[in-house]
Amino acid sequence: MVPSDTIAQHFRLAMPVAAALRKIGITTIHDLLYHFPARYDQGGTESSIAGLSIGQATIFGTIHALETKKSWKRKIPVGEAKLRDASGSIKIMWFHQPYVVKKFSEGMFVKASGMVSGKDGSLYLANPHIEPADPIETGIFAATPENTDAPIFPVYPESRGVSSLWFRHALKRVLNAGAHGIEDPIPSAIREKYRLPSLDTALVWIHAPERLSHAEAARKRFAFEEMFVLQIQKALDRLENDTRTAFPVNEGEKFARTFLKSLPFRSTHAQQRAIHDILRDFKKQHPMARLLEGDVGSGKTAVAAATAYAIVNSRPPERTSGTLQIAYMAPTEILAQQHFQSFIEYFKNLPINIALMTGSGCKKFPSKAHRHKATSISRAQLLKWIANGEIAMLVGTHALIQKSVVFQHLAYCIVDEQHRFGTRQRAALLQKPSPMHAKPVPHFLSMTATPIPRTLALTMYGDLDLSILDELPPGRTTITTEIVRSSHRTQAYERMRSELKKGRQAYVVCPRIEEPDPQKEHAVQAKSAKAEAARLQKDIFPEYEIGLLHGAMKPAEKDAVMARFACGKTHVLVATSVVEVGINVPNATVILIEGAERFGLAQLHQLRGRVQRSSHPPMCFLVSDTASHTSTTRLRALAHSSDGFKLAEIDLKTRGAGDLWGKKQWGISDIGMDALQNIRLIRAAREEATRVVQSDPHLTNHRALRARISSLAEKLHEE
Ligand code: ADP
Ligand code: MG
């Protein structure tokens, strides 16, 4: 049996099983071995959480969701937390000593002893004694005292057609067959340093553990492995980037200064720092690879424009005419359109051509007939002008990465909201075919307003240098954020009406597009944008025009709706979270979000950013009837903090990464997502990976690692 063998070579598969395996992407023995249980069941042990019953217990696990509150019945202060092990989680309550929670931190590994109380189904550990058990110093991987008599059953992620039992049997056979032939990608020195079990041991421990502590140790190991391999990839990317050449742009500062002087406002210090970072990178031999992170309204576009200005004022080497070219990619047509307009405005005094390319058409500025207007042109014509260098700046959507789009001197790629593009699309943009033989690689700037936790940034953007806009332009008043019960919605509407009377505009955001099917039992009861738009028009704001925007609309329809709202004809825009991405209507000052508890905090923060675009004091109403303490606490955090990155960290702690930053989007497994809770693990994986790549850039002495990296690359290619 070798890891690349297909499962069908060794197992007789019933049709539904074969189909189910294919559907979850398991074809080889290697895939099977790396399909991990979601949790474990164990019959009646005291020390695994799943097996707890009322009485004294000692449990090893990690602490989560620490909070203090008043018990609602007796009004006494309590500290609360969750204790989690491989089998499940249990609530911890410290009555009369809420301050205890301060002694612990999220994700801490501890030994908890105390009384299990409550009712079956809602057990909790009352006033337990807790000792920190540092996983690195005391060894999370040491055996923990537990009942080893009770058998442990791995439970695999739910998938129709193939049961946990099937996986248990299949894996037992594979593991019993002896050598499975997979080499350990983690070098032994690193394994020893972090006390990680070897691959052989960990595979047995994760699929057929005799102790839950073994399963936990194995999961940590695979989490480390995944992050380590990812970081090796990022380190290799950085190394490769440094071997490429870019168009050097040496006089950037001069042009950027001229540009900044032409603006009606003074750039913030943060903007100046970011511009400086970028211009410094432009002077280097190798292309820039940089991420610009900044809250909505922090002025990222101005940074992009100032640096783009430096590029379009630079001549290609050994040329007397034409300029270097820029590609600016936005996630939606609306945004591409908006940025096209902004750049026309920014560059109107320059003798350069700017073009727009989206799925629904192409435009060029200036038009031959009207010096101050853009005109529609054919795609074929635009492609020609891009290829011969006449277009200095091309703004667009995904349409830009099509093969037919060939630049003459593409020197700078800017991608707005990169997380909406896959890694592969980014590669496609940077490797735009160019007729020149020794082709320089464009400088790359990715911009995002999506606040993501530090661990996720280090993991997913580990190959990029970072500039942060941590300062909003002056004069923006801070937003008032209020939590409103639905019974008080009318008051919120009245305050909205008084803004509308002043000539301002408003957004109403709903969690869904359509009404749920009432026939369906579990239909989510949430406001739908369609029904809400109709209701507001008829019953609440008959004197105003209500618009409707949602993701299921055609791009042209969306554009029309946005255009009406942007010019003020529509007063209230009812929308789904599609408005989250960078739409800029400075006259909008109120946003009301229905079912607010359904959204992530970072997302809510982005949504309210829609009304922080002007100097009028903005307002945000979060409508929620949630009874959940955690939800209320989360929403309050939003009312109190205006720091998107802090909110993202709170999201990560209270809801977990998988829930919020769809793991599909990042291509990280469940175990990997759990690892994002652990900054120490992420840092360690990154440091070790950097060291390995520095000492062995071709991974000549790390064969298993090299194999893993090339299979990663293959997967990316197939996507
Ligand atoms: P972001 O893309 O980061 O959300 P934008 O670049 O779209 O932000 O800027 C938001 C608004 O603020 C725009 O109208 C822009 O013209 C304006 N702006 C940008 N920088 C400044 C500044 N330093 N001072 C005042 N206004 C600014
Ligand atoms: Mg923007």
Same domain for 437 and 343? yes
- Helix H, strand E, coil C: the string for 426-485 is HHHHHCCCCCCCCCCCCEEEEEECCCCCHHHHHHHCCCCEEEEECCCCCCCCCCEEEEEC
- pLDDT-flagged residues of the chain (< 50): 44-46, 134-145, 433-437, 517-524
Kindly state whether residues 493 and 461 are assigned to the same domain.
no
Question: Cα of 372 to ligand 1 centre, how many Å?
Answer: 23
Which protein residue's CA is at the shortest distance from atom 5 of ligand 1?
A: 299
Query: Does residue 272 share a domain with residue 298?
Result: yes
* Two tokens, residue 35: 């399909």
Query: Distance (Å, rounded) from C-alpha 154 to C-alpha 144?
Result: 19
Same domain for 455 and 485? Answer: no
pTM greater than the 0.85 cutoff: no
Peptide bond into 366 cis (omega under 30): yes
Tell me: do 316 and 456 sit in the same domain.
yes
pLDDT at 385: 94
Name the domain count of the chain. 2
CA dihedral of residues 600, 604, 609, 610 (deg, nearest 10):
120
Give the pLDDT of residue 466: 86
Residue 141: per-residue pLDDT = 39
Going from the Cα of 28 to the center of ligand 2, the distance in angstroms, rounded, reads 44
Q: In this predicted model, what pLDDT tens digit does every residue of 353-372 receive, in sequence order?
A: 999 999 889 999 998 888 88
Domain boundary among 621, 641, 661: 641
* Residue 433 shares a structural domain with residue 540: no
3-state secondary structure of 169: helix
Which residues have a Cβ under 8 Å from the Cβ of 142 and sit 6 or more positions away?
213
Q: What is the CATH number of the domain that holds 285?
A: 3.40.50.300
For ligand 2, the distance from its centroid to the CA atom of residue 410, given in whole angstroms, is 22
Buried b (16+ CB within 10 A) or exposed e, 454-463: ebbbbbbbbb
Q: Which helix (H) or strand (E) holds 290?
A: strand 289-294
Range of the domain at 513: 480-641
Task: Please indicate, yes or no, whether residues 363 and 295 belong to a single structural domain of this protein.
Answer: yes
The predicted structure's pLDDT at residue 464: 86
In a domain, 582, yes or no: yes
Q: Note whether residue 150 is domain-resident.
A: no
Q: For residues 307 and 251, give the distance between their C-alpha atoms in angstroms, rounded to a whole number.
A: 11
Domain boundary among the residues 412, 446, 469 is at 469
Burial 681-705 (b: 16+ CB within 10 A, else e): bbebbbebbbebbeeeeebeebeeb
For 506, phi then psi, to 5°, come to -140, 155
364 found inside a domain: yes
Residues 484 and 632 in one domain: yes
* Position 447 in a domain: yes
Does residue 130 sit within a domain?
no
Domain boundary, last residue among 641, 669, 692: 641
Q: Which atom of ligand 1 is nearest to the CA of 268?
A: 23
pLDDT at 45: 43
411 in the same domain as 322: yes
Q: Are 496 and 618 part of one and the same domain? A: yes
Distance CA 262, CA 428 (A): 34
Closest CA to 427 of 716, 718, 714, 229: 716
Determine the distance separating the centroid of ligand 2 and the alpha carbon of 581, expressed in angstroms: 8
Ligand 1, residues at Cβ distance < 6 Å: 265-268, 271, 294, 296-302, 449, 473, 582, 584, 613
Which two three-digit tokens encode residue 479? 């937003």
Residues 259 and 281 in one domain: yes
Is 197 domain-assigned? Answer: no
In a domain, 303, yes or no: yes
Give pLDDT, residue 434.
Answer: 47
Pocket test for ligand 1, best of 275, 292, 301, 335 (most atoms within 8 A of CB): 301
Q: Do 518 and 629 sit in the same domain of this protein?
A: yes
The pair of structure tokens assigned to 442 is 């464009």
* Residue 552 resides in a domain: yes
